[in-house]
């Protein structure tokens, strides 16, 4: 990734796209390289422009944001789903499709720019509020009974750290809760990503719910 973060915006509302572009264009380290009105158009633009980050509306006509994310999300092209949260029922599916995180459409300008930078750097973006939504979705999913075998290779301490991550806690918060150093917490999270073959913290959250480690919102 270059010093300037390349972004594609996918949303079926022209005013939303224009507003997001205006906010991102104010940052010297972010540039918008394309806009799309639906998932199919987004895939085409991503393949042509190879952006670092895609801001993807979950609900769009034709090919929706979840299926588009499933087709384009990689380690090089990171997807942030745009959601209204209070009415959206697809957060869990989006993470399973490869989304690196979520951003509320009413987020503050600096939250938007921060989200793009965090995800472009290779990190997941899942707030405690959205984590709660994932927990509720997981409770209603076919995997509700849990798949404990997903965690078969973890130590007890690694399971404790995973549970903390699944509750939306940062490394420093995990460290405080488990009485370990922040550096140790980071090491545990890195180890979990490797052992569970997860791309980022968002996918760790999904694994925690699917395994049955976390059951209740």
**Where does the chain show beta strands of DSSP type E?**
5-10, 30-36, 53-57, 78-83, 101-104
Please indicate, yes or no, whether residues 114 and 197 belong to a single structural domain of this protein: no
Q: What is the CATH number of the domain that holds 53?
A: 3.40.50.2300
Tokens, residue 195: 């052992």
Q: What range does the domain containing 48 cover?
A: 5-125
Instruction: Please check whether residues 44 and 9 belong to one and the same domain.
Output: yes
Vertex 13: Cα angle to 125 and 18 (nearest 5): 75
Structure confidence by residue, pLDDT tens digits, 156-199: 999 999 999 887 788 888 999 999 999 999 999 999 989 988 87
DSSP labels for 119-182?
HHTT--B--HHHHHHHHHHHHTSTTTT--GGGGTT--HHHHHHHHHHHTT--HHHHHHHHT--H
pLDDT for residue 71 is more than 60: yes
Mean pLDDT within 37-61: 94
Q: What's the pLDDT at 213? A: 83
Tokens linked to 157: 């301490």
In a domain, 131, yes or no: no
Residue 120 is encoded by which pair of tokens? 């472009």
- Residue 87: the pLDDT is 47
**Cα dihedral 125, 115, 185, 177 in deg (nearest 10):** -70
Confidence (pLDDT) at 208: 84
Express each pLDDT in 12-27 by its tens digit.
999 999 999 999 999 9
Assign 133 a pLDDT band (cuts: 50, 70, 90).
Answer: low
Asked if 54 and 78 count as a contact pair (C-beta separation under 8 A), the reply is yes
% of the chain surpassing 90 pLDDT: 45
As to burial, measured by CB atoms within 10 angstroms (0-12 exposed, 13-18 middle, 19+ buried), residue 161 is buried
Residue 139 pLDDT greater than 80, yes or no: no
- Regarding whether 102 and 14 lie in a shared domain, the answer is yes
The pLDDT assigned to 125 comes to: 74
As a whole-number percent, the residues of the chain with pLDDT over 70 amount to 83
**pTM, two decimal places:** 0.69
Q: Are residues 106 and 28 in the same domain?
A: yes
Whether residues 18 and 121 share a domain: the answer is yes
Q: Do 104 and 58 share a structural domain?
A: yes
> What does DSSP assign to residue 99?
-
Looking at the structure, tell me whether residues 38 and 99 fall in a common domain.
Answer: yes
Residue 30 — pLDDT band, cuts 50, 70, 90? very high
Q: Please check whether residues 36 and 113 belong to one and the same domain.
A: yes
Q: Is 54 in contact with 80 (CB distance < 8 Å)?
A: yes
Residue 131: per-residue pLDDT: 59
Residues 65 and 164 in one domain: no
- C-alpha–C-alpha distance, residues 95 and 191, integer Å: 20
In a domain, 138, yes or no: no
Number of domains in the chain: 2
- Is residue 136 domain-resident? no
């Amino acid at each position: 990734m270059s010093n300037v973060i390349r972004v594609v915006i996918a949303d079926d509302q022209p005013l939303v796209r224009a507003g997001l572009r205006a906010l991102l264009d104010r940052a010297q380290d972010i540039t918008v390289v394309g806009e799309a009105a639906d998932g199919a158009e987004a895939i085409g633009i991503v393949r042509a422009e190879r952006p670092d980050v895609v801001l993807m509306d979950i609900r769009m006509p034709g090919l929706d944001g979840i299926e588009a994310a499933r087709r384009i999300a990689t380690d090089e092209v990171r997807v942030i789903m745009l959601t209204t949260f209070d009415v959206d029922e697809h957060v869990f599916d989006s993470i399973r499709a490869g989304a690196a995180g979520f951003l509320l459409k009413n987020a503050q300008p600096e939250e938007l720019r921060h989200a793009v930078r965090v995800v472009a750097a290779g990190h997941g973006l899942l707030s405690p509020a959205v984590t709660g939504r994932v927990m509720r979705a997981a409770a209603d999913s076919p995997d509700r009974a849990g798949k404990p075998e997903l965690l078969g290779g973890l130590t007890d301490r690694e399971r404790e750290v995973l549970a903390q991550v699944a509750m939306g806690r940062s490394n420093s918060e995990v460290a405080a809760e488990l009485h370990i150093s922040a550096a140790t917490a980071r090491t545990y999270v890195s180890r979990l990503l490797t052992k569970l073959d997860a791309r980022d913290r968002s996918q760790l959250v999904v694994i925690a719910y699917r395994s049955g480690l976390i059951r209740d919102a």
